[in-house]
Structure 1
């Protein structure tokens, strides 16, 4: 059977559209894992990146951290966390996903703030604006497209890697891949992979829409 036949077999099976193992339910699970991991990573990475970018401190430390975080094997970390923590709900799966997402958010936020033209920043300080006001009213609006780019990159990585949650008996689209490989049902494997790819593409579309809504038109035209 070729890939098209596998896809037809998978998506035409009514059992894949209903119940706990149905595509709608697995989609909600996958989105939940991804959204929680991305939210935790953003809560860690954005404040640190904004602070270090604004103050100009910690650039080398961030580069070293990012290099180390990207070198971490997500699957290996998942296995380690499962052995260490046991089956504590989604916690063992969240840790590698958060570790994967923090680095691009942190580094991109730092670099986005550092790349802001110093002229308006100096003008704002000359007008007597406080340091937080300069950050949030001058630097952040200009740096927002790049910051969203870092969040988008992290989100795509998390969505693609959240399939590993199925390895520790959690849900999501990875369930089709893991179970399909175990039972040699390759239509499920192909269908699960296509669903993950489709969700990653949808994630790109969501961030494009968010950028259109929250980024100033003047900043968009300038870039």
Structure 2
């Protein structure tokens, strides 16, 4: 059989799903690692992004932090962190993936606050709201669609990248791929392909789920405004391509 046929056979074997260390166990591990990493990223990125956006300063800091964290290869962190006191297992994986989740969370939190209409801020201040009340009652609710968009991007990226956890015995669906490589391409090729398909499918499902959540939390007027902005951006990109 070719690898595609092997993958179909492997995925249709109930034992590969229900046995200890099977797909269901690895899926739970994968979701747990990804969820913990995104949550840790939110704890770091959202307070910083909201505060910088509220003060109107630190745009350069946001760009710098985002660029620096994006420039660090996840596989490098996964290689270095297990050599520290964290050791091998899930903790270094969660920290490495959290670093990977920070850029979209931070950038969207900052952008969401900065996109609030200045006249709305002035009206809120005129009503006697303090800086903290302005952030909690006015700016934060209006920034929720941006926070949801950043969360969606971070979640999809982390779920897709969490397959690398197998390099440091961190569990997840990547263990299926690693086990397939251990068997050799001729024997384990179908298992490798099946593991890759499972990771891709999970990332796609996460994308669709959080796209729906983002739509639900975005008020209709903001949806129309964002669609118009996206159309204008597409038109400018098409014009630039045509002109070149």
TM range (shorter): over 0.9
Counterpart selection for 1:199 from 197, 202, 205: 202
Q: Distance in 2 between matches of 1:139 and 1:2?
A: 56
DSSP 3-state at the match of 1:85:
coil
Q: Which has the larger radius of gyration?
A: 2
The aligned counterpart of 1:84 is 84
Are 1:116 and 1:139, in contact at CA under 8 Å, matched by a contact in 2? yes
Are 1:37 and 1:94, in contact at CA under 8 Å, matched by a contact in 2? yes
Are 1:45 and 1:105, in contact at CA under 8 Å, matched by a contact in 2? yes
Please list, as runs of the form range in 1=range in 2, the aligned pairs for 1:48-197 lying within 5 A after superposition.
48-85=48-85, 87-184=87-184, 185-197=188-200
Q: Distance in 1 between matches of 2:4 and 2:100?
A: 32
Moved over 6 A (4+): none
| Unaligned runs of at least 5 residues, structure 1 | none
Once the two structures are TM-superposed, the CA of residue 102 in structure 1 deviates from its matched residue by 1.1
Q: Distance in 1 between matches of 2:86 and 2:53?
A: 38
Normalised TM-score (structure 2): 0.85
DSSP 3-state at the match of 1:136:
helix
Once the two structures are TM-superposed, the CA of residue 128 in structure 1 deviates from its matched residue by 1.3
Note the aligned Cα RMSD (angstroms): 1.8
Normalised TM-score (structure 1): 0.92
Are 2:89 and 2:169, in contact at CA under 8 Å, matched by a contact in 1? no
Q: Distance in 2 between matches of 1:137 and 1:131?
A: 10
DSSP 3-state at the match of 2:84:
helix
Q: Distance in 1 between matches of 2:162 and 2:78?
A: 11
